[in-house]
Amino acid sequence: MKEFWDNITSVQPEPSLQLIIGTGVAALLLIAWRPIWKHTRQVVTIAHEGAHGLIAALVGRKLSGIRLHSDTSGVTVSRGKPTGGGMIAVLLAGYPGPALFGLAAAFVLSRGYAVALLWGLLAALVILLLQIRNLFGLWSVLVFGALVFSVTWWGSPSVQSTFAHLLTWFLLLAAPRAVLELQRSRRHGQGRSSDADQLRRLTGVPALMWVGVFGLVTLACLALGVLWSGVLPS
């Protein structure tokens, strides 16, 4: 147990610039290549709905469950006052959620704790799994969790570091694309029950402005994540 704990809390060697750039390029390919994106986007949905659930719990709402669907959509149901600051905070959390998780991961990696990051992610997935209320969602979280566990338990330090950086880049880069897809669906008359449209009904602020807020937050997280990654010269 002591060896296990030491492994989690020890600082890993600083990754090479080639690894950081290489994982960033790989993450970009996973996002830009549409046939792959149709599957990898489910990770963004897990983070999106997880952010809704986390904020719902923090503002005192009772979380009823989370559903993930095969079209990469999802829904988080919580009980409580249908209006007010708590509900607004829950709706605000979704689209920025993956970017904020990615930024938190970038901060942890900048301190050299790749293994701790992976174990923390596993713990978060176990908690999320308890809230899943449909079969596809259960399968999605289990498959993603099994992948993270395999890398964390059997992977060498270099493999663990590579995977942690790849996942961090993926969250940071995928979040802005998800916001663009939201606005594209709204432009085509779809997504009228989206987070942005629900925020419009609650606040009176146009949905397009909320989409802009989502976009600014995700881009700010990406910029800060790039800064923390060490890619740019100091």
Q: Which helix (H) or strand (E) holds 30?
A: helix 17-32
Torsion of CA 214, 216, 222, 223, to 10 degrees: -170
> Whole-model pTM above 0.85?
yes
Taking only the tens of pLDDT, the chain with its 234 residues reads: 777 777 788 888 889 999 999 999 999 999 999 999 999 999 999 999 999 999 999 999 999 999 999 999 999 999 999 899 999 999 999 999 999 999 999 999 999 999 999 999 999 999 999 999 999 999 999 999 999 999 999 999 999 999 999 999 999 999 999 999 999 998 887 767 899 999 999 999 999 999 999 999 999 999 999 999 877 765
Q: Please name which of 45, 97, 51 lies closest in space to residue 68, comparing C-alpha atoms.
A: 45
CA distances for 38 relative to 138, 202, 230, angstroms: 18, 31, 30
CA distances for 47 relative to 40, 62, 80, 174, 216, angstroms: 12, 19, 22, 11, 18
Q: How many whole angstroms separate alpha carbon 186 and alpha carbon 180?
A: 10
- Give residue 67's identity as a one-letter amino acid code: R
**What integer pLDDT is reported at residue 115 of this predicted model?**
94
Q: Please name which of 195, 49, 191 lies closest in space to residue 129, comparing C-alpha atoms.
A: 49
* Three-class SS state of 201: helix
For residues 108 and 117, the answer to whether their CB atoms sit within 8 Å is: yes
**What integer pLDDT is reported at residue 148 of this predicted model?**
97
DSSP letter (8 states) at residue 66: E
